[in-house]
Amino acid sequence: MVLNCNNNQVTDPERAIGVFDSGLGGLSVVRELLALGAGRHIHYLADQCHAPYGVQSMETILAWSKAISEWFIRGKIKVIVLACNSASAAALYSLREQFPAVHFVGMEPAVKPAVAASKTGRVAVLATAATLAGGPYKKVLRDHANGCQVIPRACPKWVDLVENPPESPEEVLTEVKSVVAPLLADGVDQLILGCTHFSFLKNVIQSVCQGNATVIDPAVAVARQAERIADTAGVHRGGRSDCRLFTTGDAARFEGHSQSLLGQSFPVKTARWDG
């Protein structure tokens, strides 16, 4: 299985960072990278024809993540951000072993800061089933739970709320409330967003919490980590930060959604799977 695009030339790979997700969610990390203004080229791939990743097997997600990484590597990109918790869960450790010359930045649920901030000793991780089954999540639990009760909650409908937003905002509110309200009633005071798509639901989640719980969004921390790694890897800074977007789905539709989520427009190209 190979990922291809007729126009995937990286004009200045010495300034480039690769970022990918199954769809729109990883744009939350792109948004933060652009806000940091480090003057780098961001190449973002949304594998929308396979979305959502969270319901797929670990083996399948690993295969897709490897092929996407090879696509970036062919463009001489040295830093790749898995802006997808499911891909990080399935592929991060394996990719680091297979491509030691490339720097991979992954997503992991922010259990450490949540546990440190919790006053009730009860925190919740809102994620996909794949993320909750993956190695990074299990590792942060071992390393940072520290006796705190960490409650996992798979939210299978939430990715679709971002990818295919319903016409009525009330539908979004109702779905979010059905997950969050019982957690609040059980004394949870820290809600960890364990899927990059959920960053775009943060305002709704906070409205349901009404100040009774803190919502922890890792997108900012991951963007900062990616920039630190890029500096270490010798990825140059300079000029204006910009972005090139690719999707394996509908480019016109993705362009409209990405403009809405990023607050600015970038060109979108179609990538395709061969084999």
Our answer to whether residue 155 is catalytic in this structure is no
* Residue 58: burial class (beta carbons within 10 Å; 0-12, 13-18, 19+): middle
The whole-angstrom separation of Cα 228 and Cα 232 is 6
Whether residue 49 lies in the annotated active site:
no
Beta bridge partners of 272: 4
Which of 49, 148, 155, 195 does the annotation list as catalytic? 195
Tell me which H or E stretch contains 116.
helix 111-117
Task: Tell me, rounded to whole angstroms, the distance of Cα 1 from its chain centroid.
Answer: 23
- Nearest residue to 50 (alpha-carbon basis) of 197, 274, 248: 248
Task: Give the relative orientation of helices 219-232 and 27-36 as an angle to the nearest 10 degrees.
Answer: 60
Evaluate whether 54 touches 79 at the Cβ level (below 8 Å).
Answer: no
What is the identity of the amino acid at 77? I
Which position among 84, 148, 209, 243 bears the catalytic label? 84
CA angle, 112 then 117 then 119, to 5°: 125
Question: Catalytic residue numbers?
Answer: 84, 195
